[in-house]
A and B are shown apart, each in its own frame.
Chain A
Amino acid sequence: MSNEKLEKIKKELQEDLQNVKTETFLNELKVKYLGKKGLITELNSEIKNIPNEEKKSFGMAVNEIRNLFNTSYDEKLKAFKEEELNKKLASETIDITLPSKKIKRGSLHPMTLITEEFEDLFVSMGYTVYEGPEIESDENCFQKLNIPKGHPARDAQDTFYLKDEFENFLLRSQTSTAQVRAMEENVEKKPLRIVCPGKVYRRDEDATHSHQFMQIEGLVIDENVSMADLKGTLELFCKKILGEKTEVRFRPSYFPFTEPSVEVDVSCFKCQGKGCNLCKQTGWIEVLGAGMVHPNVLQMCGYDPKKYQGFAFGTGLDRFAMFKYGIPDIRTIYGNDIRFIEQFARKDDTYEIK
């Protein structure tokens, strides 16, 4: 009799489970089968009425039904929960094409980018970045650089002098003035290795000249540095800044504060030396002035020219920025049009070491 009942309950359960469509109905089944007066619970209480030799097999059969219920229940419940969550997620769907909540994209000015690139390169070679003041004395800007008053080299650097009691002071026309300061401040007169980036000012203005622009000056003083060392240094530097294929050419020239002096040309990076508009068909572009520090300059800044010699080089940072980023007019650099500035809001990996 009990076995019949058992088979009936099992059949009923299987039918019920097939008809479960909601979580509520599933829970009602739990009460129906496993509740205090549930069908399976009742079967349990009937065990005592079963003959001893059948008890075991009956018990196993009841457990089987119970397990059937539990497994099915868990499965169904999980499926209902899953379905419910999916419904919720679906209802939360957003339009991912709407604009982002974006913070403005900041950027460093191209002159900062180029300055830092130069600084990093020289710092890695043991140079210290030395920034002097922008107001200078005539003495530091010219006289101590071997350019006495009335010297024709002053013509090339038409200078802004200050008014009234500061008539012997000026806005520096070249970063070479920082050389003078660094040498004088080095009281122990030890070897020196510096680069001096900064703003300079000249009375000049057109598409390639701005009355304010930026230069960087390099100076190395030691007992045995030579033109060959200068060339090697500039070769390395030009390759790193302008590309590994860059070649460097020395042409003798004249600067009052160096002797010997050279102009430094690099092979044209636009046409690789074949000749183009940028290099005026010569294959070369003049980028730096350099030379061995004039003994008069060493002397005036307190170094013994018999013991020490040094090399110096200088160049326009704007020129490099114009080359590197292809900016045709220097006035664009200082125009600060946001559409210009924002173009530099990214990492530049042109010369990254791979």
Chain B
Amino acid sequence: MATIASLKKGQRGIIKEFSVDVVPLKLLEMGCLPGNEVALVQTAPFQDPLYLNINGSHLAIRKETAAQIEIDIVD
């Protein structure tokens, strides 16, 4: 099962449905919504946190949050 945490650098995916109990509202408001495209721009040293481009917004989140969000990998 692919999640945002399993993206490789430069890879893109489409966010699948997720539950509000695991993904904070704040992240949704910043554009992390089901159906949106997410790309991994860069990882920090030790592979955490992740620097993402979600729907045109550049954000960084921690790996454990990223691992909660399922995606379909595009390429």
A and B assemble together? no
